[in-house]
Structures are given as C-alpha cells and as structure tokens.
Amino acid sequence: MSEQTLPFAGRLNWRASLPHSRRGKVLVAIRLAGVVALAAIAANTPGFFTAVSLFSLLNTTSFIGCVAIGMTFITLSGNIMSFALGVTLSTSGIVFMAALPLGLGGALIVAFAFGAAVTGAQGFVVGYFRANPIIVSMAALALITGGATLITQGQGVYPQGDAAAPLKGRVFGVSMPLAAFIFTVVVAQIALSFTRFGRQLYMVGSNWRASLAAGLDPARIVLGAYIAAGLCTALAGILMAARYSSGDLELGIGYDYSAISAVLVGGTAISGGEGSAIRSFVGAFIIAICQVLLLLHGFSTQIQYLTIGVIVLLVIMLQTLADTD
C-alpha cells in the first residue's frame, strides 16, 4: 500500500515508494500485520476456501464494491462522502426497470443518464458553490427518497418481458456483477493513475486553493468526480435490479455506510487527495472476508455489522499515523 506514485511507469523504485517518516512506516507495518492475521484466520477456518463460500463472497461484494468505487471518487475530491449513493442505487434500478420497454440499450442509457444527473446535480452545487457536501448529500437523500416514494407509491417496479435477461448471465465464466465490479475497478484506476482528470482530482482533493492558484478549474473536476460516482452507482443499481428482477427502494439501504467503510478500510484518506480505486477494491474484500469469517465461526449478522463498525473506527484512528506532523 504505497503512497501515491506513478504505477507501471518506467523503472519501479519501490523503495522510494515507502513512506519516509517513522510513523508512516509504522502504519504500513500495522496494515500488513492486519492482512497477514486475516489470512491466517482464513486459512484456519474450515469451509472458507470452498467454492461455494468464495463465490457467494465475491457476488455480495460486487455490488457494494461498485458503489465503493464511486464513493472513492467523491472522497478523493476532498468531499468526504455522500449519503445519497444508496438511494441513487435503488432509484437507478427503478428507472432501468421502468425504461425496459425501450429495449435493453435504451434502458441502460436512460438509467446511466439518470444516475449521472442525480449525482451530478449534487456535484454542481458542491463544486461551483462549494456548499457543504455532507449537507447536500443529506438533502439529496431526502429529495430522492421522497420523489421516488411518491412516484412508485412505495411499490416495486417489475420488468415487462425479458429484456434484462442478458444481465443475469455470466461473462468469461464469472457472474455479471463480479465482472462489472472488476471492470469498474480497472477503468477507475486507469482514470485515476493515467489521465489528466485523475491527476487533477488528486490535486483538487489535496488543496483547493492551490489548485486554483495553479490554474486548474476545481469546480469542473469535482463535478466530474460526482458524475463518475453516479455512473458507478447506476451500474450497480442496474445489475442489482436485473438480478432481483425488480426495482425497489429497499435495495439500496445501508449501502452508503458499507461503501464508505470499504473506502476507509482500504486506506483512502478521508480528507481527500490520497487513495486509489485499488485500495477500495481491497477494502471491500477485507470487509467481505471478515464478514464471511465471522459467519463461518457462528457469529450473527449483527455482530458482523458491529465488527465492521469497530474496524472502521480503528482505521480512522490509525489514519493519524499517516500525517507527518
């Protein structure tokens, strides 16, 4: 888990990628120890490596993971998190289901556009006016929930016909959600590491005023980050709706917290400017592994939930070691 460097670019000087400060090195050591401990527990848990548990693990992680990648863009831009991604997930699914009469391609376009627009509106206000991102996302949560409940009358939306069937299949032998998750991680990481947008995103998240002074347009970049988040979330929403054959507001509950947990546990800084899609990918997996391990050892879902919460708290506290102060 090295600092923000240019991966795959020329000669890799991994030694230089390690943090220079003593506290930074302690942090890396702690993280490594945690991963090793987790692997040890997993190896000693009967039933962990069976195909069944691994595949179900991967599938449940995929939906949360997509949203987590979207959340990563928002966190990297310095805007902490969004409370509205979960509800965007479910409403994108609803829109997708409702638009299926347009054919699969048309419905996809409409659903993606919806997700991008809904999150983009938040990004506009946060970027151009620099409104408080937490408050704006709360407002969006209320607005979207209210609007969607009003329109759907609290009922689920069911597809007519079978247009969504292709989305329930497998791609290269893996399930569609997992393929989509991997695809999202790869695309997001490429964007963050290799494109100008990605680099500028790190700058804006690191220091808004310095970005201004350097001649960037931070508002546009924040807007881009939120739109990216909307697209990732819409993708998850579409696939989830296809999987359960219904669009329903219930589907997205709790996803905001799961997503931000994955982002933080993966090591992205909550203050912005530091982190990556791969880290969130790893974070989502670590959380999923913890959940499965707890389950296999006989702990209830409630204990799993609590454990994740405590882990997040500890990870946040450890973040202080990352600051060379």
Partner 1 sequence: MRPLLANRSVRPYLLLVAITVVLWILDGGQGRFFTTATAFSVLQQFATIGPIALGLGLSMIIREFDLSVGGMISLAGCIAVLTGASHPELGVALAVLFGLAWGLFQGAIMVWLRLGSIGVTLGGLLTLGGLAYVVTGNLSISYPRMDVALAVNRPVLSIFSFRSLIAFAVFLVAAFFMARTRVGRDVYATGSDRRAAMVAGVRTSAIIPAVFACSGMLAALGGSLLSYSLAAASGEALTDALVPATAAAIIGGVSLMGGKGTPIGMIGGVLVLCLLRAGLNAVGTPPAVQDIVTGGVLFLVAIADAVDLDPRLFAIRRYCAEMFFRRDDLGRPRQASPAE
Partner 2 sequence: MTAIAVSQAAAPAAEPREARAGAEQSEGAAAVVGVRNISKSFGPIAALKEVSLDISPGEIRGICGENGAGKSTLVKILTGVYRPDHGTVLVGGAPVSVATPRQAQELGIAIVAQELSLCPDLSVEDNIWLGSLRVPFLHKKPELRKRAAEALALLGADHISLDAPVARLSMGERQLVEIARLLTRDARVLILDEPTATLTDVEIERIFAALLAVKREGRSILYITHRLAEIYTICDRVTVLRNGELVATTGLSGLDRAALIGLMLGRPSGDMYPEETHVRGAPALVVEGLTLPGIVDNFSMTVRRGEILCIAGQVGSGAAEIVSALSGLVHDASGRTTVNGQPLKLGSPARAAQRGIMFVSGDRAAEGVFRRLSVLHNLVATRLREHSLFGFLRTGLLRAAASRLAKRVGVDRRRLRSRAEELSGGNQQKLAFGRCIERQANGVLLMNEPTRGIDVGARAEIYRLMRTFCEEGYALVMSSSDLEEIVGVGDVVITLYRGRQVGHYRRSEVSMHRIVADITHPADAAP
Task: State the binding partner of 194 from partner 2, partner 1, none, CB within 5 to 8 A by kind.
Answer: partner 2
> CA 118, 119, 121, 123: dihedral to nearest 10 degrees?
180
Which of 142, 165, 210, 214 binds partner 1 (CB under 8 A)? It is 142
The 3 state secondary structure assigned to 221-264 is HHHHHHHHHHHHHHHHHHHHHHHHCCECHHHHCCHHHHHHHHHH
What is the footprint of partner 2 within residues 217-276 (CB under 8 A)? 217, 269, 273-274
Sole residue written with tokens 């600051």 = 323
Which of 42, 138, 191, 216 binds partner 1 (CB under 8 A)? It is 138
> Is 26 near partner 1 (CB under 8 A)?
no
Task: State the binding partner of 40 from partner 1, partner 2, none, CB within 5 to 8 A by kind.
Answer: none
* 84 contacts 198 by C-beta, under 8 angstroms: no
Rounded distance, CA 299 to CA 293, Å? 9
What is the footprint of partner 1 within residues 116-135 (CB under 8 A)? 125, 128-132, 134-135
Which of 4, 145, 206, 207 binds partner 1 (CB under 8 A)? It is 145
> Is 197 near partner 2 (CB under 8 A)?
yes
What the block records as the tokens of 293 is 């391990």
Rounded distance, CA 304 to CA 293, Å? 9
* 257 contacts 143 by C-beta, under 8 angstroms: no
Which of 74, 85, 141, 203 binds partner 2 (CB under 8 A)? It is 203
Q: How many residues bind partner 2 (CB under 8 A)?
A: 33
Which of 136, 185, 290, 294 binds partner 1 (CB under 8 A)? It is 136
Rounded distance, CA 166 to CA 176, Å? 9
Burial label, 20 (beta-carbon count in 10 A; 0-12, 13-18, 19+): exposed
**Closest of 317, 263, 319 to residue 286, by C-alpha:** 263
What is the footprint of partner 1 within residues 265-294 (CB under 8 A)? 270-271
Give the binding site for partner 1 (CB under 8 A): 80-81, 125, 128-132, 134-136, 138-147, 149-150, 257, 260-261, 264, 270-271, 300-303, 305-310, 312-317, 319-320, 323, 325
Give the binding site for partner 2 (CB under 8 A): 3-6, 9-10, 13, 16-17, 20-21, 194-197, 199-200, 202-203, 206-207, 209-210, 212-217, 269, 273-274, 324
